[in-house]
Amino acid sequence: MVDLFLNRVLVENNSDQDELNTEREIIGILENRIILLFFASVDCGKCQKFVPVLNHFFKRLKDPAYIEYPKLLALIYVSLDQSEEQQERFLKEMHKKILFLPFDDPYRKELQSLFKVKDIPSVVVLRPDGSILSPNAVHDISRLGTDCFHSWQESAEIVERTFMLNEAFDDLNLRSATDPVRRLKYKTEDDKRRKRWWKLWGKGDGSGEKEKDETPDDRRKEPDKGTWRKR
């Protein structure tokens, strides 16, 4: 899948429209992800109606406000607009975390031909290896919402792992975005993870004295601390 966009420029839909044009940047943002190619144009009424649905779908899977660990998903807008001004208008309606191809890149038309896109809106869903999971997922996204992503994820056999980077990698210049994955030892047992965190913060080291459990006999031996009255 990454090969599909190597030697190409992808642009982030943020205020600065940052360009990703190096192999390392492209690999880092697309590798081991399910890719959605969104074919549409601003003068298409159906596309206009679908954009809020797609934005909500993408936000629920990627925005930290909705999900603790963003999903391995990338959304690329492949513009079929007639002018750059039309493309810019449409991008303003879309989520700021999506990617898009520059308007002057003829690769937009090549992708349309490659995936045989005839009707818009169209969302082509690709596995990380570039094979097609769905030729057009517009209906599934509209009807099932984020549930369809979990089906794609299972079909693509993508395994998500939550892991912590070792301190030794903090200042390391990684050769690629997958270097940490190859080098780290995963600790999946909850008890090991808890021990590591407690040790890191200097807690749970057993230095504190355990409180002695009070028994009924102890209570009987304890002298009465009430006020003494003279009879």
pLDDT digits 0-9 by tens, 108-162: 999 999 999 999 999 999 998 889 999 999 999 999 999 999 889 888 877 655 4
Please report whether residue 151 resides in a domain.
yes
> Does 165 lie in the same domain as 78?
no
For the cut 60, the answer to whether the pLDDT of residue 24 exceeds it is yes
Domain count, the chain: 2
Please report whether residue 183 resides in a domain.
yes
Q: Which residues contact 104 (CB under 8 A, 6 or more apart)?
A: 84
pTM, whole model, 2 decimals? Answer: 0.67
> Does 90 lie in the same domain as 16?
yes
> Does 168 lie in the same domain as 124?
no
Please report whether residue 226 resides in a domain.
no
> Does 76 lie in the same domain as 31?
yes
> Does 83 lie in the same domain as 64?
yes
Q: Whole-angstrom Cα distance, residue 52 to residue 8? A: 28
> Does 23 lie in the same domain as 132?
yes
Q: What is the pLDDT of residues 53-72, one digit of tens each?
A: 999 999 999 887 777 777 88
Please report whether residue 80 resides in a domain.
yes
> Does 78 lie in the same domain as 187?
no
Q: Which of 121, 156, 191 is the last residue of a domain?
A: 156
CB 96 within 8 A of CB 58: no
Please report whether residue 219 resides in a domain.
no
Higher pLDDT, 193 or 184: 193
> Does 184 lie in the same domain as 128?
no
DSSP state at residue 4: G
Higher pLDDT, 163 or 154: 154
Kindly report the three-state secondary structure assignment for every residue of 129-177. CCCEEECCCHHHHHHHCCHHHHHHHHHHCCCCCCCCCCHHHCCCCCCCC
- From residue 147, how far is each of 126, 128, 144, 152, 193 by CA, in Å? 17, 19, 6, 9, 30
For the cut 50, the answer to whether the pLDDT of residue 44 exceeds it is yes
Distance of CA 100 to the CA centre of its chain: 17
Q: Looking at residue 119, what is its pLDDT?
A: 92
> Does 183 lie in the same domain as 152?
no
> Does 150 lie in the same domain as 75?
yes
User: 122-126 and 132-134 as β-strands: parallel, antiparallel, unpaired?
Assistant: antiparallel
Please report whether residue 229 resides in a domain.
no
Mean pLDDT, rounded, of the chain:
78
Q: Whole-angstrom Cα distance, residue 220 to residue 215? A: 9
Please report whether residue 215 resides in a domain.
no
Please report whether residue 129 resides in a domain.
yes
Burial of 37 (C-beta count, 10 Å sphere; 0-12/13-18/19+): buried
Range of the domain at 179: 161-204
Count CB-CB contacts under 10 A for residue 63. Answer: 12
> Does 86 lie in the same domain as 184?
no
> Does 175 lie in the same domain as 125?
no
Helix H segments across the chain?
23-30, 45-62, 84-91, 107-114, 138-144, 147-156, 179-183, 190-200, 216-221
